[in-house]
Structure 1
Amino acid sequence: MNTLVKTTLAVLLLLGVAAAGYWFGIHAGPAAKEPATAPVARKVLYYRNPMGLPDTSPQPKKDAMGMDYVPVYEGDAEPNGQFGISLDKVQKLGVKSEAAAMRELDTALRVTGRIEVDERRTYTIAPKFEGWVEHLYANTTGQAVGKGQPLFDVYSPELVSAQREHALAQQGLASMQDADDAAKKSMQQLVTASAARLKNWDIAPSPQPADETAGHSTPRDKAVQGDGGQGDEREKQSSISARPHVTFRSPVSGIVLDKKAIQGMRFSAGEPLYQIADLASVWVIADVPEQDIGQVRPGSRVQVGVDAWPGRSFDGKVAFVYPTLDNATRTVPVRMEIANPHGLLKPAMFARARIETGASGKVLAVPASAVIDSGNRQVVLVRLAEGRFEPRTVTTGKRGDDYIQIESGIAEGEQVVTAANFLLDSESNLKAALGGMDEHAGHAATPTATTAAGRPAPAQPVSVGHQASGTLDAINGDGTVSVTHGPIGSLGWPGMTMDFALANPSLVAGIKPGSAISFELVERKPGEYVITRLQAQHEGH
């Protein structure tokens, strides 16, 4: 009996232990496995706008409606148009960025022109009587002369006769001290008429002696400082005499632009013998394109540069906008006045003028190097986070010296790439092309090319960038370059000379025409090829 009880108790104890073990196995198992299946924290790359707008932030924030920005984790699928590059490659490319900000653009208009003589400072020496040139003091074209300096002596029988008539009239008036008033008045009229004749010739008549003309109104004309003047000492009129020679003097300080006078020559009345210009102030005549003429206003400040004085600018202002348009060039002449006290600016010099058109308030702007102009659109690369970028098509507005207005496409505060952006753009195009290849390979219905033996033909590699080398012939004014290249096998092109657009003007910075270069072409649209990489080839490479 005791043995049976003991056996029963042992069986029950074993069953209880087994049940307890089963129960603990069910309830304790998940708890033991829980540490091994805990999710690993993922790295947040950046935060994107919850409404899908083109706005990102490296830090958590809320939008205008109070909604939290959505985190984008490492490893998530890249949104359309975005691409990533390793931080090591970003550093090697020398990528730099700057925030888009509101700025006042100091816009300016750059035009070319020519130095010309100020027409208001040009003087012509043309005697109003005929005669002969007896002696020249200024006898070379281009000679500098001062105001009042003798230019030439002339002899004129007609002038001598007029002077004698005036002298006789003066002597007659002086001898009629005891005559009646009517006779004196008649003689005085003769003196006045002869003096007026000389004055009309720009010759000062000889004055009457003060002791002989007391109580009479007589002309005392000063020497005219226009086209000619008197050079001899005034003679006393005690006897009938005339000055046989007259000296013409320069009316202004300047240079002799034209000299037709020759010693001993005979000249006619009104014949121009000298042309003298004062170059203390000169004009710059520039041709402004029709579409830009609305920005030019009289009084606008101007800086002018010439090749003769590199690195130096001459200040002036816009004096006049001509009312006519050149139908052939579609340009309007604009006249600018430039001070030239030292005579450094010479007539007919080629000039480059910068006309300030003024600022028009603050606008959203980015550095000019950030905009990639493909010809049919303008693109900037937005830096979303470290190593992540997104190309954006933007609409540009006014252009300043260093910045460009952005009318749409990006928001204030977004970082745009300012250096090595063309390399990133090439990387973006490459990734897009590889993505297209993967998508093409995923379509099972696409037929596969076969050889004549019925086997699948080897896949042809798709080339996004076409490598070439050649010579940089010229950098054109429209932003393109002229290149003579060798055969390009990936395109099937033979060697030839062509013009290409640049993804960014900084590609040719520091490279002179005539240099051997290597470059990469990308087809932006059918038939349009753009250079995305260009560098000079050095000896030994």
Structure 2
Amino acid sequence: MNTQRLLTALALTGGLAFGGFGYWAGRSVHAEPTTAAAAARTPLYYRDPDGAPLWSAGPKKNESGRDYLPVYDDKATRDPLKPKQRADASRKILYYRNPMGLPDTSPVPKKDSMGMDYVAVFEGDEVDDGTLKLSPGKIQRTGVKSEPAERLPIHVSVKAPGTIQLDERRVSVIAMRAESFLQKVADVTTGTRVKAGQPLMEIYSSAVASAAADYLATITSNTVGSVEKYRRGSRQRLTNLAVPEQVISEIDKSHVAPVTVRWSSPRDGIVLERNAIEGMRANAGDVLFRIADISVVWALVDVAERDLGSITVGQPVSIRPRSFSGQTFSGKISVIYPQVNRDTRTARVRIELANPDFALLPDMYVDANIDTADGAPVLAVPESSVLDTGRRQAVLVDKGEGRFEPRAVKIGRRGGGFIEIRDGLAAGEAVVTSANFLIDAESNLKAALKGFAEATQQPSDGASGYAMGDHK
């Protein structure tokens, strides 16, 4: 029985050993060979024994004191790549570039510090016409999209804040031109809307009463000749005292000189100011009422100095009051004031607005949107297609078959998601509108690699060594 158990244990031990050898033989890329085999082979690099993503070009110990494990070149894992190498063997190799994308090239095959082979760059992968060639797979992965440049109008909007102000030509002031006493004041207050001809107050003035009596005497006199001239003079005296025309007409009809005179509103509008009080004495020049017509108002907006070159008189403007969400008023620029505020660097622009519903009130805040488009179509591309560094603007022209050409352009106005192209591009040429920054980065990388490749091929070893040392 003991003998049988011993034979069974030996069989299991041999099976495990055989199975383990077969498993590790399949993973011979990372296998550590025997001491004799290791002495005959040179490791590619050394890896961390605990499986951490750490590597070394030479023998080394980790933080635990364990030796890094050597990794050897395994032909079995490289055999699947043989067909690709044979397929590329028919093409001429220009140089070899660093597999990690570093700006380091070599005219002959070599390995980097990690033991990775340099990648061969074949003839045709790079061209000398300034274009960049990408594989269809990379174009699909990066999401490259192109659109043709076309002629269309650029709608550029200038936005500026402002306030509503009264039209200076629609404000009236009622003031006495002679000493007067207010006998009665109508039931109107500040903010009341009044109509033209609506009574506001009754006043007594000795100067007005004397002029009215004098005028009545002239129109009731039967004398002709010089009296006619005197009649016109006495009527003009009433006009000079600002007596309403309606009062003078009543004297002509009734032949009665009134003791008190009724003063009326000269226009439709709202009462902005009321200083009249019953029984008070008003001296010459005292303002008793101020009335404004707000059916038409002004929007005074402050346009930034940088936008003055794009606005002109007559351009349409959309005004949006901050008090009314979603409601807009339309108008046109009537005046551009000839002065720039030295503190805010803005110029004032006046827009006349119809206000039939009296919704716009004086000193109300508004936002103006000035459409500066002239309607003429210009060559334009989407904003996302322009690579703008501040000092240089460029686009990537899609030449087809995965080839892209960086091209410098001169840009103009921006608006509506488009940019005007004034020079450097023709109508119909396709430009990259998506992932152009990735292509630009690829172009810069390949340009750097090509520059290093040319430096290593220079005949002067001293110059080449200086360049590489300077790079390091």
Instruction: Indicate the TM-score class for this superposition, using the shorter chain for normalisation.
Output: 0.5 to 0.7
Q: Which amino acid aligns with 1:335?
A: R
**How far has the Cα of 1:316 moved from its partner?**
2.0
**How far has the Cα of 1:405 moved from its partner?**
1.4
Partners of 1:200 and 1:355 in 2: how far apart?
48
Partners of 1:236 and 1:245 in 2: how far apart?
15
Q: Would the alpha carbon gap of residues 408 and 235 (structure 1) be closer, same or farther in structure 2, given more than 3 Å must change?
A: closer
CA contact (8 A) 1:298 1:321 kept: yes
CA contact (8 A) 1:231 1:248 kept: no
Partners of 2:227 and 2:470 in 1: how far apart?
123
1:378 aligns with 2:393: yes
Match of 1:160 among 192, 204, 209: 209
Q: Which amino acid aligns with 2:372?
A: E
Partners of 1:261 and 1:186 in 2: how far apart?
41
Larger mean CA deviation between 251-260 and 295-304 belongs to: 295-304
Match of 1:125 among 163, 174, 181: 174
Partners of 2:88 and 2:133 in 1: how far apart?
27
Partners of 1:283 and 1:256 in 2: how far apart?
18
For residues 115-514 of structure 1, the aligned pairs below 5 Å read 115-137=164-186, 139-170=188-219, 173=221, 185=225, 191-203=231-243, 222-223=245-246, 236-237=254-255, 242-289=257-304, 292-348=307-363, 349-359=365-375, 361-385=376-400, 389-418=404-433, 420-421=434-435, 424-426=436-438, 428-429=440-441, 432=444, 445=465, 446=468
CA contact (8 A) 2:154 2:373 kept: no
Partners of 1:185 and 1:113 in 2: how far apart?
62
Partners of 1:187 and 1:448 in 2: how far apart?
113
Larger mean CA deviation between 327-336 and 195-204 belongs to: 327-336
Q: Would the alpha carbon gap of residues 273 and 96 (structure 1) be closer, same or farther in structure 2, given more than 3 Å must change?
A: farther
1:103 aligns with 2:133: no
- Gaps of at least 5 residues in structure 1 are 1-36, 43-72, 205-221, 224-228, 450-458, 460-541
SS at match of 1:429: helix
Larger mean CA deviation between 151-160 and 267-276 belongs to: 151-160
Partners of 2:276 and 2:133 in 1: how far apart?
80
Q: Which amino acid aligns with 1:395?
A: K
SS at match of 1:341: coil
Q: Would the alpha carbon gap of residues 289 and 135 (structure 1) be closer, same or farther in structure 2, given more than 3 Å must change?
A: same
SS at match of 1:199: helix
For residues 82-93 of structure 1, the aligned pairs below 5 Å read 82=132, 84=134, 87=137, 90=140
Partners of 1:125 and 1:249 in 2: how far apart?
9
Q: Which amino acid aligns with 1:356?
A: T
CA contact (8 A) 1:87 1:387 kept: no
Q: Would the alpha carbon gap of residues 101 and 152 (structure 1) be closer, same or farther in structure 2, given more than 3 Å must change?
A: same
Q: Which amino acid aligns with 1:429?
A: A
Q: Would the alpha carbon gap of residues 197 and 280 (structure 1) be closer, same or farther in structure 2, given more than 3 Å must change?
A: same
Larger mean CA deviation between 324-333 and 408-417 belongs to: 324-333
User: What are the superposed Cα offsets for residues 82-102 of structure 1, whole Å, 9 maximum, x if unpaired?
Assistant: 3637658746x6654321123
CA contact (8 A) 1:284 1:351 kept: no
Partners of 1:164 and 1:251 in 2: how far apart?
24
* Superposed CA RMSD: 4.3
Using CA pairs under 8 Å that are at least 6 residues apart, name the structure with larger relative contact order, 1 or 2.
2
Partner of 1:23: none
CA contact (8 A) 2:160 2:302 kept: yes
Q: Which amino acid aligns with 2:294?
A: L
**Identity rate of aligned residues, in percent?**
34
**TM-score (structure 2 length as normaliser):** 0.59
Partner of 2:77: none
**TM-score (structure 1 length as normaliser):** 0.53
CA contact (8 A) 1:279 1:340 kept: yes
Q: Would the alpha carbon gap of residues 431 and 107 (structure 1) be closer, same or farther in structure 2, given more than 3 Å must change?
A: closer
CA contact (8 A) 1:296 1:357 kept: no
Partners of 1:324 and 1:88 in 2: how far apart?
56
CA contact (8 A) 1:128 1:269 kept: yes
Q: Would the alpha carbon gap of residues 318 and 86 (structure 1) be closer, same or farther in structure 2, given more than 3 Å must change?
A: same
SS at match of 1:252: coil
User: What are the superposed Cα offsets for residues 313-340 of structure 1, whole Å, 9 maximum, x if unpaired?
Assistant: 3222222333444455554433322222
Partners of 1:439 and 1:371 in 2: how far apart?
26
SS at match of 2:210: helix
More helix by share: 2
Total equivalences in the alignment: 345
Q: Would the alpha carbon gap of residues 267 and 94 (structure 1) be closer, same or farther in structure 2, given more than 3 Å must change?
A: farther
CA contact (8 A) 2:194 2:265 kept: yes
Partners of 2:260 and 2:123 in 1: how far apart?
102
**How far has the Cα of 1:81 moved from its partner?**
6.5
**How far has the Cα of 1:354 moved from its partner?**
0.6
SS at match of 1:164: helix
**How far has the Cα of 1:257 moved from its partner?**
2.4
Partners of 2:350 and 2:250 in 1: how far apart?
42
User: What are the superposed Cα offsets for residues 461-496 of structure 1, whole Å, 9 maximum, x if unpaired?
Assistant: xxxxxxxxxxxxxxxxxxxxxxxxxxxxxxxxxxxx
Partners of 1:436 and 1:74 in 2: how far apart?
17
Q: Would the alpha carbon gap of residues 437 and 371 (structure 1) be closer, same or farther in structure 2, given more than 3 Å must change?
A: closer
Partners of 2:301 and 2:343 in 1: how far apart?
15
Partners of 2:249 and 2:277 in 1: how far apart?
19
Q: Would the alpha carbon gap of residues 303 and 167 (structure 1) be closer, same or farther in structure 2, given more than 3 Å must change?
A: same
CA contact (8 A) 2:126 2:133 kept: no
CA contact (8 A) 1:325 1:332 kept: yes
**How far has the Cα of 1:76 moved from its partner?**
2.3
